[in-house]
């Protein structure tokens, strides 16, 4: 909103009043309004026979990394293999947990759409349909091999669980059996230490996160990663209730409005549409708790980049 402020300062009379009115409904989302989230991934590792066409079997996967019930057939649409040639397992786990891995870290990305099956072998993996023969490279050389099972086929989206496979010349096992993933992700969240974000009494409302430089995970905020803006209303006014089931906030909310975000650092709340009936967001009802979230669909951890508790005035 810097341009609006400059115009207001340089103008007078009726023009200045019009600019002040336009800015009156702006929610300025800054670092002090953001929540904090600390996540840790404990990814299981399976030593498998080096040089063999090894594979994974997830027929026993009944709960994902958020501990949600999971159908190993109906919920797994994609199996992806990522090979990091210069990072060890601990470094990959930390990078995934904090969303700090870079494209340069990745040496190989392959995938497979299993359909109604619940297993995949290295020989079935392709580079977007092109055969890769990755099984010929499954030898101990210091690289880290990680497999992600996800709902949907968009790269990096909808991860239900992940596991390391480790080439080992001293074992004969050729299959990794993936089961309950409840213990993979551990996290803490704080919604109470941040400053609530005041909401102007008069709309139309626009949220502006231009000044947000630190994301909720403690890293640099990258505005190019924002894919969605969401407003949710909860009947509870106790923030500890929301902290306890944080990764299920959308299912706990009595109503959710959202809009896809393509570029920039502002969003008009009037563009949000309700999940239940598609109606536009029209304002803030009294009572309960209002939350604004800035989301990243392609980030490895299913937690918002930014989240603020709103206080309508």
Answer yes or no: do 67 and 155 share one domain.
yes
Computed over its alpha carbons, how large is the radius of gyration of the chain? 23
Answer yes or no: do 126 and 207 share one domain.
no
Answer yes or no: do 255 and 284 share one domain.
yes
Question: What is the structure's pLDDT at 23?
Answer: 61
Q: Which of 183, 200, 234 is the last residue of a domain?
A: 183
With respect to residue 220, please indicate whether it lies within any of the assigned structural domains.
yes
Answer yes or no: do 153 and 81 share one domain.
yes
Domain tally, the chain: 2
Question: What is the structure's pLDDT at 22?
Answer: 39
Q: Which of 167, 183, 199 is the last residue of a domain?
A: 183
pLDDT tens string 7-45: 222 223 333 333 333 366 999 999 999 999 988 899 999
Answer yes or no: do 91 and 118 share one domain.
yes
Question: What is the structure's pLDDT at 24?
Answer: 67
With respect to residue 266, please indicate whether it lies within any of the assigned structural domains.
yes
Answer yes or no: do 197 and 261 share one domain.
yes
Of 294, 42, 56, 300, nearest in space to 158 by CA: 300
Question: What is the structure's pLDDT at 153?
Answer: 83
- At a CB cut-off of 8 Å and minimum separation 6, what does 17 contact? none
With respect to residue 199, please indicate whether it lies within any of the assigned structural domains.
yes
pLDDT tens string 86-139: 999 999 999 988 878 888 999 999 999 999 999 999 999 999 889 998 989 999
Question: What is the structure's pLDDT at 74?
Answer: 96
With respect to residue 303, please indicate whether it lies within any of the assigned structural domains.
yes
CA torsion sign for 260, 190, 248, 42 is positive
With respect to residue 17, please indicate whether it lies within any of the assigned structural domains.
no
Give 166's strand partners: 47
C-alpha 121/C-alpha 49 separation (Å) is 13
Q: Model confidence at 300, in pLDDT bands (50, 70, 90)?
A: confident
Q: Which of 162, 183, 204 is the last residue of a domain?
A: 183
Scan for tokens 């159908």, then name that residue.
Answer: 71
Answer yes or no: do 178 and 202 share one domain.
no
C-alpha 231/C-alpha 228 separation (Å) is 10
pTM: 0.74
Please give the residue range of the domain that contains residue 86: 43-183
Question: What is the structure's pLDDT at 178?
Answer: 93
Answer yes or no: do 194 and 256 share one domain.
yes
Q: Is the pLDDT of residue 160 over 60?
A: yes
Question: What is the structure's pLDDT at 123?
Answer: 95
C-alpha 42/C-alpha 45 separation (Å) is 9
- At a CB cut-off of 8 Å and minimum separation 6, what does 292 contact? 27, 29, 197, 207, 229, 230, 231, 307, 308, 310
Answer yes or no: do 173 and 274 share one domain.
no
Answer yes or no: do 175 and 273 share one domain.
no
- Going from the C-alpha of 72 to that of each of 58, 125, 183, 218, 304, the distances in angstroms are 6, 18, 17, 34, 26
CB 175 within 8 A of CB 60: no
Q: Which of 3-17, 60-74, 178-192, 297-311 has the lowest mean pLDDT?
A: 3-17
């Amino acid at each position: 909103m810097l341009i609006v402020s400059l115009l207001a300062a340089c103008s007078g009379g009726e023009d200045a009043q019009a600019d002040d009115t336009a800015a009156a409904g702006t929610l300025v989302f800054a670092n002090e309004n953001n929540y904090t989230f600390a996540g840790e991934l404990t990814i299981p590792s399976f030593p498998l026979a080096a040089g063999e066409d090894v594979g994974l079997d997830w027929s026993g996967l009944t709960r994902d990394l958020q501990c949600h019930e999971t159908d190993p057939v109906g919920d797994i649409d994609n199996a992806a293999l990522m090979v990091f040639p210069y990072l060890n397992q601990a470094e990959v786990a930390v990078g995934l947990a904090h969303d700090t891995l870079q494209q340069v870290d990745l040496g190989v990305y392959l995938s497979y759409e299993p359909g109604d099956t619940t297993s995949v072998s290295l020989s079935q993996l392709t580079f977007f349909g092109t055969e890769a023969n990755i099984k010929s490279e499954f030898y101990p050389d210091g690289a880290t091999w990680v497999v992600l099972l996800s709902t949907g086929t968009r790269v990096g989206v909808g991860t239900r669980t992940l596991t390391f496979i480790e080439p080992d010349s001293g074992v004969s096992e050729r299959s990794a059996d993936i089961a309950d993933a409840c213990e993979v992700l551990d996290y803490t969240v704080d919604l109470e230490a941040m400053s609530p974000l005041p909401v102007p009494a008069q709309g139309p409302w626009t949220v502006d996160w231009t000044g947000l430089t630190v994301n909720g995970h403690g890293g640099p905020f990258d505005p190019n990663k924002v894919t969605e803006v969401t407003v949710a209303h909860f009947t509870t006014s106790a923030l500890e209730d929301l902290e306890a089931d944080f990764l299920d906030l959308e299912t706990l909310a009595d109503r959710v409005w959202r809009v896809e975000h393509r570029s920039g650092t502002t969003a008009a709340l009037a563009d949000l549409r309700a999940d239940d009936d598609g109606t536009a967001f029209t304002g803030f009802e009294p009572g309960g708790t209002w939350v604004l979230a800035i989301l990243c669909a392609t980030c490895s951890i299913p937690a918002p980049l930014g989240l603020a508790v709103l206080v309508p005035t």
